[in-house]
C-alpha cells in the first residue's frame, strides 16, 4: 500500500471515490508479485501497477464498474481468458486481481504506515471484506490463507549499522538506495557524523547497547556490527541476541567470531541465540574494497529479507567455516 498511499490521500481529500486493485494470485510468467497494487479514481486517475502495463487498461475498466456497483470482485487474467493476448499475458502468465472500493481498513492502514507502525491487512476474496489487525507480522510476504489474502505490513526495513568505519559509508548509501531506513551508531564522535553519513536517517553518538535500546527491535530490523573491537562488539551483540530481529551480522574472521561466541556462551547465551549471527558477514562475492564489501553485506541482508535460497546460504556459510 505504501507505493500508492500518497495518491489515495490526495484523491480522497478531494472527494474522489477510489478503487483498489491487488494481485492476489500468480502463476507462470506473471510480471508483478503478490500484493502489487494499483488504485483507480472515479474521475479517471490511476497509480501503481499490477502488471507493469500488461493489463492495466483492463483493470482500469473493471475498477470503474466496481465503483459503480459498490462491491468488489475477483478478476482472473491469463491464458484461459479470451482476452489473454490482448492484455499481454499470452506468454503463459496468469494473475488474479482483487478489485474493491477503498475500505476503512485501507485508510487505517495508511495511517499506521505513516506512523511506521506494523499491521496485517486481510481481505476475504469471496466476500470482499477487508479487516486490519495492528500487530507485528512474522514475515514480509503476502500469502493466501483459505479464502483470505493476507498482507503483512511491517515497519519499513531498518538497517542499523554499529560502527561508523569506512565500509559503513558505502553501506549506508546502498541501503538507502534499496529503500531501507538507516541508523548509524558509534560511541566515537569523530566516526559518527552527518558529514560521513549524509544519507542516514539518524546518526547516534552512543555506546551500542545504549543506542540499540532506543530502537524497535523486530522483524523489520537488520543489525550490522562493523566495529571489530570487543568493547563495542560484545555490548552490541548482548543487546540484540535473543531478540526477534530479522538479521544480525558481525564483521571479522572466523577466529574473531569464535572468540566472541565463546565469551557470550560463558555469559549464558545459548547456541541457538548465537546462531542468529551471520559471521563472517556477507556473501563471498570475491571483492575486497569497501564498496564491494558493502555490496556483499547487502546481498546477504537481501537474501535473508526475502528468504531466498535459505538452504544455499547455510551451505555457503558451512563451506566457509
Q: How do residues 67-93 score in pLDDT, each as one tens digit?
A: 999 999 999 987 444 444 454 454 556
Domain identity same for 171 and 244: yes
Phi and psi torsions of 115, nearest 5°: -95, 5
Domain identity same for 216 and 308: yes
Where does a domain end: 127, 149, 171? 149
- Count each helix (H run) and each strand (E run) in the chain, helices first: 11, 15
| Cα three-residue angle 12-15-18, rounded to 5 degrees | 50
Report the number of distinct structural domains present in the chain.
2
**What are the cell numbers at 76?**
482472473
Q: Are strands 73-78 and 143-145 parallel, antiparallel or unpaired?
A: unpaired
Residue ranges, the chain, pLDDT below 70: 28-31, 79-93, 309-321
Where does a domain end: 124, 149, 174? 149
Domain identity same for 116 and 198: no
Say what the pLDDT of residue 37 is: 95
Domain identity same for 137 and 205: no
**What are the cell numbers at 181?**
531506513
Say which CATH number the domain at 166 has.
Answer: 3.40.50.720
Where does a domain end: 149, 167, 202? 149
What range does the domain containing 316 cover?
A: 158-320
Contacts of residue 12, defined as CB under 8 A and 6 or more positions apart, other chains included, come to: 18, 102, 107
Using CA atoms, how far residue 175 sits from 119, 171, 250, 255, in Å, is 23, 6, 17, 28
pLDDT tens by residue, 267-310: 999 999 999 999 889 998 988 899 999 999 999 999 998 887 54
Intra-chain end-to-end CA distance of the chain, in Å: 41
Contacts of residue 247, defined as CB under 8 A and 6 or more positions apart, other chains included, come to: 221, 222, 223, 224, 278, 300, 301, 304, 305
Amino acid at each position: 500500500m505504501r507505493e500508492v498511499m500518497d495518491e489515495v490521500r490526495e484523491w480522497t481529500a478531494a472527494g474522489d471515490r477510489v478503487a483498489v486493485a491487488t494481485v492476489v494470485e500468480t502463476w507462470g510468467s506473471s510480471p508483478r508479485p503478490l500484493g502489487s497494487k494499483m488504485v483507480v479514481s472515479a474521475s479517471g486517475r490511476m497509480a501503481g501497477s499490477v502488471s507493469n502495463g500488461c493489463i492495466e487498461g483492463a483493470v482500469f475498466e473493471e475498477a470503474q464498474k466496481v465503483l459503480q456497483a459498490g462491491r468488489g470482485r475477483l478478476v482472473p487474467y491469463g491464458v484461459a481468458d479470451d482476452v489473454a493476448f490482448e492484455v499481454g499475458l499470452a506468454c503463459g502468465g496468469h494473475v488474479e486481481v482483487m478489485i474493491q472500493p477503498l475500505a476503512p481498513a485501507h485508510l487505517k492502514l495508511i495511517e499506521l504506515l505513516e506512523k511506521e507502525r506494523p499491521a496485517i491487512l486481510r481481505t476475504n476474496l469471496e466476500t470482499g471484506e477487508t479487516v486490519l489487525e495492528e500487530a507485528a507480522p512474522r514475515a514480509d510476504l503476502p500469502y493466501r490463507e483459505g479464502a483470505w489474502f493476507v498482507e503483512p505490513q511491517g515497519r519499513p526495513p531498518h538497517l542499523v549499522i554499529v560502527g561508523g568505519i569506512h565500509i559503513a559509508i558505502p553501506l549506508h548509501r546502498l541501503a538507502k538506495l534499496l529503500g531501507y531506513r538507516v541508523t548509524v551508531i558509534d560511541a566515537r564522535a569523530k566516526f559518527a557524523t552527518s558529514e560521513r553519513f549524509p544519507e542516514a536517517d539518524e546518526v547516534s553518538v552512543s555506546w551500542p547497547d545504549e543506542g540499540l535500546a532506543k530502537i524497535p527491535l523486530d522483524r523489520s530490523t537488520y543489525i550490522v556490527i562493523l566495529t571489530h573491537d570487543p568493547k563495542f562488539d560484545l555490548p552490541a551483540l548482548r543487546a540484540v541476541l535473543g531478540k526477534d530481529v530479522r538479521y544480525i551480522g558481525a564483521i571479522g574472521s572466523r577466529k574473531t567470531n569464535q572468540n566472541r561466541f565463546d565469551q557470550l556462551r560463558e555469559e549464558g547465551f545459548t547456541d541457538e541465540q548465537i546462531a542468529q549471527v551471520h559471521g563472517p558477514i556477507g556473501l563471498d562475492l570475491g571483492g575486497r574494497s569497501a564498496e564491494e564489501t558493502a555490496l556483499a553485506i547487502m546481498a546477504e541482508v537481501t537474501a535473508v529479507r526475502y528468504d531466498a535460497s535459505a538452504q544455499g546460504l547455510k551451505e555457503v556459510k558451512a563451506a566457509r567455516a
